[in-house]
Amino acid sequence: MAPSTPENGLDKAAFKDLVATFGFQMTPQDEADYFALVKGMEDEVHEVETLPAYIDPRLVPSVATPVSARTYSVPDKSDNPLNAWSHRFTLKDDAAVATGILAGRTVALKDNISVAGIPLTLGTHPYQLSTSPDMPYPVPSIDAPIVTRLVESGGVILGTSTCENYCMSGLSDTSATGPVENPWLKGYAAGGSSSGSGALLAISAVKKWHQKRSLPLDEGQLAEGVDLAIGCDQGGSIRFPVAYSGVYGLKPTHGLVPYTGIGSLHPICDYAGPMATSISDVALLLSAIAGYDGIDPRATPETPLRKNVPAYHTLLEAAIAEKQASGGWTPTTAGKGLRVGLLKEGLALPKLDPNVAAVVRAAAAKFERLGATVVDVSAPLHSKGGAIWTATMRGAAADVFLASKAPDLPAFTTTEVAAPALTQEWFDIMTKSSPMVVTAALGSAYMSDTARFPHRYRSKAMAHLAQLRAAYDAILADVDVLLLPVTPSVGPPHTIKAAGETGNVSALAMYELNLGVSDNTAPFNVTGHPALAMPGGWAPAATSEGSGESKKLPVGIQLVGKHHDEVGVLLAASIWEVAGLGLDEE
């Protein structure tokens, strides 16, 4: 193996400095021996670095649309009035469209998912991620497994959807391209960080809602949407957009859907999942994308192999059909046998809008009218869930989402995404665009200092994570699902009116607005429970500056179930809708 040189590797002076940081006293022989051993480690690292790049065969791009034939465009504002599209392209397999379970349904992918030949932006600014001075954004050479599965299932991928800056916002105004608009009310948050995916789905929901009521609608302000979408969720980033935009989204059980080839915050909280305009479509899309890919370390022994993945949509249909056959699918009988736990702490958020609380309590009452048993349940540690989320991973999160650090277990992490240079220019840009990213960088640097935070801090946090998981499990042993709000309010007005223009809003206020919405969502990211967000009703929107009459926006309700009981969660949601859709509750 080729030895390192003093210019680019360890020399004896640098080794002496290293030893001094430990305070070790060494004999000349020990010093020589340990220098040779550490230098040998360095040489082996450099040896591996010189090997040719390797792509796992399971990540080779889909041949249905070869990379050479993948053309893309950045949509014009007139074709993208909600700023919900990042890049437009078409990826499909005509044979699969004719036979697959998705049968030509159109799909949008959050722009943190690798698609070979298509720029990957992570919602941030040009040249922050790219390893090439000639390329504003990195262009992956792999298809994430979730992409291949969508194409093999007959889906037609129409592009990537706008996501928030480094996926670090629960609202929708931090993307480098500017705010993503709520399709129900322009100037208001569509929810993040899968903001574009939620908005593109809601376009058809808005159109149908207005058509059903013969209400006027300027469809030119919405443009083209999609049937289905993929979101990613580290603290609520599937559930926020669907709650704010009045559609449906599932954060599956941890590891059920492979996260390989997707921009990560931290493996402990990463999820990819289905977003749709109905419960049945959520189940259908989950069937298309679930199952261990043989690579993702987030999978557990309970995660089914791809060939053993249940047909969630078929199981849901069968469960409904069984109830229908016995006459138990009516607005007064559909809920019989179902037990729902109304989570006390979920309704005790200090900033919970009373109108949102009223919608959730009305949802509980609706379950009771359907014949379900609703009981008040309590998990006191739920109120510490956000702190547990922070303590388990914040020390390493910036290394993962800014520098693409690979998981500590075997995995495949792209080497095509560069870490940004954390310069003054970077700080100035990100403070205007997303103070959450700067906070993560500073916080991770501070919390990763083991002199201040020995590893026992995280070890204790992991123990309390297990305690929180056990607390939910204990409740779910007695009830089928937990019911609680998704967000503390409906979508608020945009703070950032255009890309990078924060006005007079402080970094602290921006952080609290964007990440202060996750108290009821982030706990389930670290405990791994499946959580569905769906429309539950309406509440008044906060009046934005200079606006006139108050308008309403959708309120999301959340159903949480046992690990790997996605069908049970989807069935409970379907039961609730027997008595009418949430957005019918006007």
Tell me how far apart the alpha carbons of residues 258 and 413 are, in angstroms, rounded to a whole number: 13
Tell me the backbone φ, ψ of residue 356, rounded to 5 degrees: -70, -45
For the chain, how are helix, strand and coil distributed in percent, rounded to 5?
Answer: 40, 15, 45
Tell me the backbone φ, ψ of residue 84, rounded to 5 degrees: -90, -20
208 is catalytic: no
Beta bridge mates, 106? 156
Of the residues 62, 86, 92, 110, only one is catalytic, namely 110
Q: Count CB atoms within 10 A of the CB of residue 448.
A: 16
In 353-443, the DSSP E strands lie at: 373-377
Tell me how far apart the alpha carbons of residues 555 and 553 are, in angstroms, rounded to a whole number: 7
Q: Is the separation of the CB atoms in 444 and 400 below 8 Å?
A: no
Of the residues 193, 264, 287, 444, only one is catalytic, namely 193
Element (H, E) at 533: strand 531-540
Tell how far CA 573 is from the center of its chain: 21
280 is catalytic: no
Strand, helix or coil for residue 369: helix
Q: Which amino acid does the sequence have at 196? A: G
CA distances from 142 to 115, 148, 416, 557 (A): 6, 10, 10, 36
Element (H, E) at 462: helix 455-476
In 139-247, the DSSP E strands lie at: 156-161, 181-182, 185-189, 228-232
Beta bridge mates, 185? 182
Tell me how far apart the alpha carbons of residues 284 and 107 are, in angstroms, rounded to a whole number: 13
Q: Which amino acid does the sequence have at 42? A: E
Q: Starting from the edge strand earliest in sequence, which strands make up the sheet with 481-485, in order?
A: 85-91, 156-161, 106-110, 228-232, 272-276, 248-251, 531-540, 552-560, 481-485, 339-343, 373-377
User: Which has the closest alpha carbon to 571: 378, 347, 322?
Assistant: 322
Of the residues 237, 264, 404, 444, only one is catalytic, namely 237
Tell me how far apart the alpha carbons of residues 495 and 374 are, in angstroms, rounded to a whole number: 38
110 is catalytic: yes
Is-cis flag, bond preceding 193, omega within 30?
A: yes
Contacts of residue 248, defined as CB under 8 A and 6 or more positions apart, other chains included, come to: 242, 275, 276, 277, 278, 279, 281, 282, 532, 533, 534, 535, 573
Q: What is the CA radius of gyration of the chain?
A: 24
**5 class by beta-carbon count within 10 Å (0-12 exposed, 13-18 middle, 19+ buried):** exposed
Query: Looking at the annotation, which residues are catalytic?
Result: 110, 193, 237
